[in-house]
Chains A and B, each alone.
Chain A
Amino acid sequence: MSSTQPVLAAGPRLSVKGPRRPPGHRHLRGSDFRWSIAFVVPYAAVFVAFVIYPFGYALWMASKPSLYADLIADRSYLPAVVNTLLFVGLGVNVKMFLALLLSGFFMHRRWWIRALLAVYILPWVIAAAQAGISFHWMLIGEQGLIDRLLSELLGIDGPNWFNNRWLGLGSNIIAYIWKWMPFWTVIFLAGRMTIPRDIYDSAEIDGATGIRRFVHVTFPLLANLYLICTLLSSLWTLGDFTTVYLVSGGGPYHSTEVLATLGFGYAFDTAKPALGVAAVMSALPVLIPIVIVLMRRLQISEVQL
């Protein structure tokens, strides 16, 4: 790893765009140029065929203004917007914050903490469909594992999780956090490992330990990574279909649907594909700003890992 020292010696700053390019090598000529183009062509082809084209198609399908009037008139659309905001807002933020804290716990080099890490990342490896089904059955009511445990251990009659909008939504969020928190914990773990130890050593001399060290040393160093990951995760969570579809199933009476499942329902259950596309496209005013902020964070400024 000694070859990485020069990069890291300058502090824990990494960048996607290369500031270390030697001058005078900017323009490629001859065979190098041709090879570079050849290397980029497969990705460009995928991008045009499976990103640009579907995007255009979706925009075209959702372009009729009357579709949005139909959406507003639909009784399950506005609740689905609220649910999506809660699902993304709570799901992403709780998950990311816990992942950040837990990544500190997993930095410890004890054998049992390392073994625990292997168990802890299991939810990431278990397919979303099975995880969703397992959650659904755990919460299915009196016979479910959770309610049985509640009554046996604490003597509480557990609620009927999927008969209530807020409990159903909460179940979806918990299942979502369970499934995806390990992935982000691992990302933050990698981020924490790029912090040189001497920063901590000097912080300790200055008396920064425990919470104070986290607030004044660790978090500022990871803030940029944290922001980037939170935005990226928000994009992915907005599109999460499987969790809601399998855990609460959108019920009772479509009260826990999110945009992804609602759009799917319009398109495939009630055979209104254009309405389905319009339903999900109505999230664009939120999606576009997130993407722009992400591009700026990753391109213009440096990525701090």
Chain B
Amino acid sequence: MSIALTFGRLARRRYRLRRVLTEAGSVMLGVVLLIWSLLPVYNMLLIALDPEEGEIEFDGNIWPPEPSLEGFRGVVTQEARYLEDFWHQFGNSLYIGLLTMVLTVLIGSLASFAVSRMRLSKGSLLTNAALLSYAIPASFLIVPYYRIMHGYGLSNNLWAVIAADVTFAIPFAILMLQLYARLIPFELDDAARVDGASAVQLYLQIYLPLMTPALAVVSVYALLLAWNDYLYQAVLLSVRNMTVSVTQGQLFADVDAPYNAMMAAGIIYVLPPIALLFALRRYVAAALTIGEVKG
């Protein structure tokens, strides 16, 4: 009797010890991940808050002794050197990003709808075509793109960048949408058909509303692809018609540049994608938890 009791107590203690160890392990992992994720961001913030222009050194202070918003002010008022056109460049970035997002969602969802829901024969060609677009990575095609855009009459035109970004965002969008569309039962389409719905009505009233989570993920993906793009914007646009991303890359090689204002601009540039992700968080979460089998 007492042996059984002792044994039970030991087992319980061992179980508790293991739980404490697991807990400690996950907290430690959490701390490591936090530092890992935030260190470069923290570095950006330190430089942006430095009152001196050309300061990129870390002086051993965890927080700048005299944090200053001078860098941010210089950006917002466009008084900082080399950043006189900041809002124009920001507008260009936003224009490219939003149009890439809208066109990717539109073209991708139309093609994906026709193939997965309208039962277009030879539909598997679409996924193959999408994958074929990745056969040569985007950056490898910069020289042909540069010449082709000239041929299309799109040199130094924001639409050249939009076209390139859409081209490389759509394949992933199609793969994602094709996968997700499998979760929508065909019975819904058939029922709507019986009620006399046309192809356009199916697309607008059944496909789009039910696909919202996947479309949200695709939107975020497309915007971030355009937002992350450096090469295409640098090559296809002229110096006078730049975007924020490229200006950053060109300024940092310049020893004379106001680094604090530059990093402040970088931090402002991060805000639109965060806002989009925040606005769509419910749909993105829904897309992620689609497979959860409840009850």
Contacts and interface: CB of A to CB of B under 8 A. Distances in A.
B134 A291 contact: yes
Interface string B169-182: 01000110011001
Interface stretch (A63-71, A126-134, A212-220): A126-134
Nearest to A50: B167
A284 B136 CA distance: 7
A22 B190 CA distance: 11
B115 interface: yes
Interface stretch (B4-12, B78-86, B125-133): B125-133
B33 to A, nearest CB: 6
B3 interface: no
B143 A134 contact: no
Most buried by A among B139, B185, B186, B235: B139
Contacts of A22: 186
Contacts of B179: 14, 16, 303, 305
Most buried by B among A17, A112, A127, A149: A127
Interface string B138-161: 111111110110001000000000
Interface of A: 1, 3-8, 12, 14-18, 20-22, 25-28, 31-33, 35-37, 39-40, 42-44, 46-47, 49-51, 53-55, 57-58, 61, 102, 105, 108, 112-113, 116, 119-138, 140, 143-145, 148-149, 152, 178, 182, 186, 189-190, 193-198, 232, 235-236, 238-242, 245-246, 259-260, 263-264, 267-268, 273, 276-277, 280-281, 283-284, 287-288, 291, 294-295, 298-299, 303, 305
Main DSSP-derived SS at the A contact region: helix
26 contacts: A1-B294, A36-B120, A39-B111, A40-B110, A43-B111, A46-B107, A47-B129, A51-B133, A57-B144, A58-B144, A125-B277, A127-B228, A127-B245, A128-B230, A130-B245, A133-B249, A133-B266, A152-B60, A190-B290, A239-B140, A240-B137, A259-B140, A264-B139, A291-B135, A298-B127, A299-B127
B128 A295 contact: yes
A242 B228 contact: yes
Given A133-B266, A235-B134, A303-B179, A3 B110 contact: no
A267 B135 CA distance: 21
A21 B119 contact: yes
A186 B185 CA distance: 25
B141 A235 contact: no
B34 A239 contact: no
Contact of A4 (B59, B126, B133, B290): B290
Contact of B248 (A130, A186, A268): A130
A55 B131 contact: no
B49 interface: no
A134 B40 contact: yes
A127 B270 contact: yes
B61 to A, nearest CB: 10
B236 interface: no
B182 A15 contact: yes
Contacts of B277: 121, 125
B108 interface: yes
B38 interface: yes
A198 B118 CA distance: 35
B255 interface: no
Contacts of B195: none
Contact of B230 (A5, A122, A129, A298): A129
B1 interface: no
Contacts of A245: 230-231, 249
A120 B37 contact: yes
A277 B248 CA distance: 26
Most buried by B among A7, A43, A121: A43
